[in-house]
Amino acid sequence: MEKYSKYKAFKGNVIYSKSKDVLIIKENSYILVTDGVVKEICNQLPYGFPKDNIIDFGNKLIIPGFCDMHVHAPQFLQRGIGMDRELLDWLNTYTYPNEAKFNNKDHARRVYTLFVDELLRQGTLHVNCFPSIHYEASEILFDILEQRGLFAFTGKLNMDQNSPDYYIEDTEQSIIDTERFVKKHHKSGNVKAAIVPRFTITCSEKLLAGLGSLSERYEVPVHSHMCEAVNEMKVVKELFPKYKNGAEIFYKNNLLGQRPTIMAHCIFMDDDVLELMKNPNCMAVHCPDATANINAGGIMPVKKLLKMGINLAIGSDIGSGASLSIARGIASTIEHSKIRNMFDPQWEAVNLTEAFYMATRSGGRYFKNVGAFEEGYCFNALVIDDSNMYSEDITPLERLERFCYVGDDRNICMRYIMGKEVEI
């Protein structure tokens, strides 16, 4: 009895990814957790396990918390606005005026509190956030993420060119402020600092070189956009003619693959870029809803990249994405791959096992042991109650699929981070 006094046992239908091709399903099983970390999964509890330490969820599903690996926190209020514009037009018309408002700390605190509340409501327990250029607002976002217990990367956004006068930085000051933020937070707990250049159009070569130096000095990960849209890539080529492509700009400035690197979109990658992205430090984030809404001009070849061994995850990309639901992102990833398959039949459509892996275990690879329920992994979990859908005659796998397509946050009845219930 004493041996298990510090354990909890969570009972239900357990589902998690072993790999991109293997989904583990353990029906009516117990996840044994101690100090917020998974010890094992068993069909029967050990003799003498204390009854008071059993949390029995009956027929409900227990899955890992979702990872949103590319999202713009300041754009939370932009959801569903300007969806008829292409990327660069949308940025100038809606995004930059919106993000400029975050020089007001009260505004930042209100919006970021709503944003983090919605992340948790949708079951996102691990997140990689873009902030605004404002140092104080970036500190507020960091603090809220930390207070609510999420696992996260965030930083201070950088942009010193091709931006409106009311929303642009001095190059040297941008580097100074970024170093200040990184020095303060790069050794923090579950919320960590990242280097966040917006994208190459809005960052001078001098700024990128300075940020690459900071990333190397403090061993800090990098988060940006790359190969996102046809019109964006044309402008990048005009701005940086001595580089072959946007990926080479990042790579030669010490911002791609030298340390953990998370690049959103990565839709249009030629062979040279693909070679750079094969680096195990790199991850490409598929943002299907954003890609469709802002009309990037193509769809990420997800199946091809998975077959090549490139690390992939899913992002909501609020605000060009309209929802913070990564469950919905799983369904959209499958749907978009089917559309791409119609025009490029060389590659099959993505299946549920692959998309779920991207949204959980693969997305969580840069955090410490999250996204699965193996021994040593954090018990960061969601409990899914789909009883409103009548689930008695279908398998747990079919129930998971249906939740991703037609369920919503109301079906998430419990959320746990490090074994502790999350209040929303």
Kind of pairing between the strands at 191-193 and 54-64 = unpaired
List of long-range contacts for 237-244, beta carbons under 8 Å, 24+ apart: 239/162, 239/200, 239/201, 240/200, 240/205, 244/272
Distance CA 394, CA 24 (A): 17
**Same fold flag, 2-64+371-421 and 66-366:** no
Distance CA 356, CA 362 (A): 9
* Domain positions in the chain: 2-64+371-421, 66-366
Residue range 292-305, pLDDT digits in tens: 998 788 899 999 99
What local confidence, expressed as pLDDT, does residue 127 receive? 98
| Cβ atoms within 10 Å of 253's Cβ, excluding its own | 23
Asked if residue 1 has pLDDT above 70, the reply is: no
Which is nearest to 258 in space by CA: 310, 302, 214? 214
> Is there a contact between 224 and 263 (Cβ–Cβ < 8 Å)?
yes
Higher pLDDT, residue 392 or 273: 273
Model confidence band, residue 228 (pLDDT cutoffs 50, 70, 90): confident
Q: What is the chain's mean pLDDT, rounded?
A: 95
Residue range 69-85, pLDDT digits in tens: 999 999 999 999 999 88
Residue range 101-127, pLDDT digits in tens: 999 999 999 999 999 999 999 999 999
- 13 Cβ contact partners less than 8 Å away, ≥ 6 residues apart: 25, 26, 27, 28, 29, 59, 60, 61, 62, 396, 399
What local confidence, expressed as pLDDT, does residue 231 receive? 85
**What is the average per-residue pLDDT within 44-70?**
96
Residue range 145-190, pLDDT digits in tens: 999 999 999 999 999 999 999 999 999 999 999 999 999 998 889 9
3-state secondary structure the chain: CHHHCCEEEEEEEEEEECCCCCEEEEEEEEEEEECCEEEEEECCCCCCCCHHHEEEEEEEEEEECEEEEEEEHHHHHHCCCCCCCCHHHHHHHHHHHHHHHHHCHHHHHHHHHHHHHHHHHCCEEEEEEECCCCHHHHHHHHHHHHHHCCEEEECCEECCCCCCCCCCCCHHHHHHHHHHHHHHHCCCCCEEECEEECCHHHCCHHHHHHHHHHHHHHCCCEEEEECCCHHHHHHHHHHCCCCCCHHHHHHHCCCCCCCCEEEEECCCCCHHHHHHHCCCCEEEEECHHHHHHCCCCCCCCHHHHHHHCCEEEECCCECCECCCCHHHHHHHHHHHHHHHHHHCCCCCCCCHHHHHHHHHHHHHHHCCCCCCCCCCCECCEEEECCHHHCCCCCCHHHHHHHHHHHCCHHHEEEEEECCEECCC
**What is the average per-residue pLDDT within 317-342?**
96
Domain 66-366, CATH class in plain words: alpha beta
Which is nearest to 199 in space by CA: 167, 174, 227? 227
Which is nearest to 41 in space by CA: 61, 3, 14? 14
> Is there a contact between 214 and 222 (Cβ–Cβ < 8 Å)?
no
Asked if residue 329 has pLDDT above 90, the reply is: yes
What local confidence, expressed as pLDDT, does residue 142 receive? 98
CATH superfamily of 2-64+371-421: Urease, subunit C, domain 1 (2.30.40.10)
Higher pLDDT, residue 133 or 291: 133
Distance CA 35, CA 42 (A): 18
Residue range 249-286, pLDDT digits in tens: 999 999 999 999 999 999 999 999 999 999 999 999 99
What local confidence, expressed as pLDDT, does residue 296 receive? 80
| Token code pair at residue 174 | 């941008």
Asked if residue 335 has pLDDT above 70, the reply is: yes
Residue range 357-388, pLDDT digits in tens: 999 999 999 998 999 999 999 999 999 999 99
What local confidence, expressed as pLDDT, does residue 87 receive? 86
Percent of the chain scoring above 90 in pLDDT: 90
Kind of pairing between the strands at 412-417 and 66-72 = unpaired
> Is there a contact between 179 and 199 (Cβ–Cβ < 8 Å)?
no
Higher pLDDT, residue 389 or 107: 107
Question: Residue 157: beta bridge partners?
Answer: 196
What local confidence, expressed as pLDDT, does residue 294 receive? 85
Residue range 197-208, pLDDT digits in tens: 999 999 999 999
